[in-house]
Structure 1
Amino acid sequence: MMIGILFAIVAGSFVSLQNIFNSKVNEKVGSWSTTTFVLGLGFLASLTMGVLFEGKRFFLLQNMEPWYWLSGLIGVGVVSCLVQGIRLLGPTYAISIVLISQLVFALLLDSMGWLGLERIPLTPSQLIGALFIVCGIMVFKLVGKKEHQEAVNLS
C-alpha cells in the first residue's frame, strides 16, 4: 500500500509540473501545438520505455475492449482543457477544480461500477471525506483570494 501511495504522490507532482510546463508552452505556441507537442513527446517516451522494459510483449494488444482505445482521445481533451483552464483561471484555481472533478467522477465511477470497474458501494464516510476535501479546497482558494486582495489593497 505504501508503494501505491508513493506512486500517487509522485504522479500528483508530475501532473502539477506538467501543467505548469504546458501553460508556459501554450503562451508561446498556442493550445493545439501544445497538445500535439506534449502528447507527441509522451508517445515517444512511452514507446521507448515500453520497448526497453517489455520488449516484444509491448506490442501484444489482444483481448482489449474496443472502447479502451478512446483513452488517447481523452488525453487530448485533458491536455487541451487543462491548458485553457490554467490560462483563464491560473494554476491553483484550475487544478483545484480539476481535483474536485476527479474526486466526484472517481466516486461516481466506483460506486456505479461503470467502465468495467468493480462496484464499490459509496459509504457515508467516503462521502464525508470527499466533502471535506472539496471544502478544504474551497477554503484554501477563498482565504487565498481574500489575503491576495488585502495585499493588493495595502500596496
Structure 2
Amino acid sequence: MIIGIIMAAVAGAFVSLQNVFNSKVNERAGSWITTTLVLGLGFLASFMIGLLVEGKHLFMLDEMKPWYWFSGVIGVGVVVCLVQSIKRLGPTFAISIVMASQLGFAIVSDSLGLLGLKQVPFTGKQFLAVIVIVTGMLVFKMSGKKELKRERTA
C-alpha cells in the first residue's frame, strides 16, 4: 500500500510539472502543437522504455477489449482541456477542478462498476469527502479574489 501511495504522489507531482511545461509550450506554439508534442514525445518515451523493459512481450495484447484502444484519443482531450483551463483559470485553480472532477468521476465509476470495474458501494464518507474538496476549492478561489482586490487598490 505504501508503494501505491508513493507512486500516486509522484504521479500527481509529474502531472503538475507537466502542466507547467505544457502551458509554457502553449504560450509559444498553440494547443494543437502542444498536444502533438506532449503525446508524440510521450509515445516515443513509452515505446522505447517498453521495449527495454518488456522486449517483445510489449506487443502481447491478449484479450484486450477494443474500446481500450481509444485511451490515446482521450489523452488528446486531457491535454487540450488542461492547457486551455490553465490558460483561462491559472494552474492552481484549474488543477484543483481537475482533481475534484477526477475524484467525482472515480466515485461514480466505482459505484456503478463502469467499464468493467469492480462495483464499490457509495458511502456517506465519500460524499463528505467530495463536499470537503469542493468547499476547499471555493475557499481557495474566494480568498484569492480578496488578495487580488487589495493588490489593485494599493
Structure 1 and Structure 2 fold alike (TM over 0.5): yes
Give the C-alpha shift of residue 36 in structure 1.
0.3
Give the C-alpha shift of residue 135 in structure 1.
0.9
Any residues of structure 2 matched to 1:15-94 within 5 Å, and which? 15-94=15-94
Give the C-alpha shift of residue 145 in structure 1.
2.3
Structure 2 residue runs of 5 or longer lacking an equivalent are none
Give the C-alpha shift of residue 22 in structure 1.
0.4
CA distance in 2, matches of 1:21, 1:79: 12
Residues 120-144 of structure 1: CA deviation (Å, up to 9, x unaligned): 0100111111211111122112112
CA distance in 2, matches of 1:139, 1:100: 14
Quick one: percent identity of the two aligned structures? 61
Aligned-partner residue type, residue 32 of structure 1:
W
SS at match of 2:133: helix
Aligned length: 154
Any residues of structure 2 matched to 1:102-141 within 5 Å, and which? 102-141=102-141
Give the C-alpha shift of residue 114 in structure 1.
0.3
Runs of 4+ aligned residues of structure 1 deviating over 6 Å after TM superposition are none
Q: CA RMSD in A?
A: 1.0
Q: TM-score, normalised by structure 2?
A: 0.96
Counterpart position of 1:95:
95
Structure 1 residue runs of 5 or longer lacking an equivalent are none
Give the C-alpha shift of residue 52 in structure 1.
0.8
CA distance in 2, matches of 1:7, 1:145: 34
CA distance in 1, matches of 2:95, 2:7: 19
Q: TM-score, normalised by structure 1?
A: 0.95
Residues 23-76 of structure 1: CA deviation (Å, up to 9, x unaligned): 100110111000000000000000011111111111111210000001000000
Give the C-alpha shift of residue 149 in structure 1.
2.0
Give the C-alpha shift of residue 4 in structure 1.
0.6
